[in-house]
Structure 1
Amino acid sequence: MADRPPTPEPRAPRPAAVRWLETAELAAGVTLLALILVLILTQAVQRHLPVDGWVWTGELARLGLVWLAFSLVGYLLGRDEHITLKVVDLVLGDRALRAVWILANLVVAAVGVLLTLEAAELVFGGSPQATPALRIPVPWTYAIPLVGVVLMSLRALANAVLVPAPPLREHRGPGEAVR
C-alpha cells in the first residue's frame, strides 16, 4: 500500500451563529458572482444586437466585483482560506507558529478597524454624488465594504483570541509530516 499524506484532523465545530453567518456570507458571494456573470453576458450580447446598450450593466458589474471582494473577506479569513504566505510554517515550531498566528490576526484586526473607520466616514459622510448611470448615491455603494471590513475585523480578533491554534498543516517539508 502506498504511503498517503496524513489527512488533517477535522476542525472543531463552530457555534451555530458563526455557521449561519458563514452561510449568509457565502450566499451573498455566490449571488454577487452570478449577478456579475449575468451582467457581463448581457453586455456581450448587446454588442452583437442592433440595439442601444445599457450602460448601467457595466457600472453595476464593476460595483458588484468590489462588493464581492469585500463581502467574502470575512468568510475567507474565518475559514483560513484567504491568500497567505505559508513560508513561516516550514521554519517555525508550534509555539512560535502560534505566536505568529496571533500577531498576524491582531494586525489584520487593527487594519480592519482602521478600514472600518474610513468606510464609516464614506457611508455617513453625506456626499451628494451619485453613480453616473444608475444614479445610486455614492455613500450607499460603500455600505457593503463597510460590513465586510467589520466582519473581517471580528473574524481576525476571534482567530487571535478564541481559536486555540492555527489550522493544521498537512506537511512541514518534504517527507516530514505534521500531525
Structure 2
Amino acid sequence: MVRCLERAELVVGALLLTLILVLMLVQATQRHLPVSGWVWTGELARFGLVWLTFSLAGYLVGRDEHITLKLVDHVARGRVLRGVWVLANLVVAAIAVGFVFEAAALVFTGPPQTTPALNIPLSWTYVIPMVGLSLAALRALANTLVPAPPAMESVPEERAE
C-alpha cells in the first residue's frame, strides 16, 4: 500500500514537473513570436510549482529525505536517537496537521474569488496542498512506528559530510 502511494506521489510530481517545463517553454517561445502570448501559461506554471512542492511533501517525509538537521544523528545513539527521531516526526506531523486544517478552511469556506487568467476558483488551488500535507502528516506518524531511524552508515559518504 505504501509503495503504491509512493509511486503515485512520484508520478504526480513527475507530471507536475513536466507541466512546468512545457509551460515555461511555451512562454519562452511566445516571446519570440509576433503574436500575443497566453497569460494563463505563467499562472499555471506558478501554481504547478506550488503544487509540486506540496504533492511531494509526504514522499519526502516518508523516506526521510526532507530538509532536516542531521547533527543529532552524529552524536546520539540508541534510545536518545530514537527519542529525537520520534519527537521530530511528531513535530512534523503536528505542523502538517495544522496546515491541513488551514488549507481545509480555505478549500471549504474560502472567498469566492477566481484566479486572474484561468478563472479557476481560488479555493480549488488549495486542494493539492491539503492532500499533500495530509499525506506528510500520515507519513510522519508512520515514521514514529518505525523501529529505528535510518542509520547514518546507510547514508552515502558525500551526503553524510
Q: When the two structures are superposed, what TM-score results if normalisation uses the length of structure 2?
A: 0.94
Question: Structure 1: how far apart are the matches of 2:42 and 2:75?
Answer: 46
Q: 2:27 matched to 1:72?
A: no
Aligned-partner residue type, residue 53 of structure 1: G
Report the equivalent of 2:40. Answer: 56
- Percent identical: 69
Shift of 1:94: 2.1
Deviations 1:130-154 (A, max 9, x none): 0000000000000000001100100
Larger Rg: 1
Shift of 1:126: 4.0
Aligned-partner residue type, residue 57 of structure 2: V
> After superposition, where does 1:18-167 map in structure 2 within 5 Å?
18-160=2-144, 162-167=145-150
Question: Structure 2: how far apart are the matches of 1:128 and 1:82?
Answer: 34
Report the equivalent of 2:152. Answer: 169
Aligned-partner residue type, residue 139 of structure 2: R
Aligned-residue CA RMSD (Å): 1.4
Shift of 1:156: 0.4
Unmatched runs of 5 consecutive residues or more in structure 2: none
Closer, same or farther: CA 171–91 of 1 in aligned 2, 3 Å = farther
Question: Structure 1: how far apart are the matches of 2:110 and 2:20?
Answer: 28
Question: Structure 1: how far apart are the matches of 2:41 and 2:107?
Answer: 23
Question: Structure 2: how far apart are the matches of 1:24 and 1:80?
Answer: 18
The structure carrying a bigger helix percent of its residues is 2
Question: Structure 2: how far apart are the matches of 1:171 and 1:154?
Answer: 24
Shift of 1:169: 1.1
Question: Structure 2: how far apart are the matches of 1:87 and 1:63?
Answer: 34
Q: When the two structures are superposed, what TM-score results if normalisation uses the length of structure 1?
A: 0.84
> After superposition, where does 1:9-20 map in structure 2 within 5 Å?
17-20=1-4
Question: Structure 2: how far apart are the matches of 1:126 and 1:119?
Answer: 9
The aligned length equals: 156
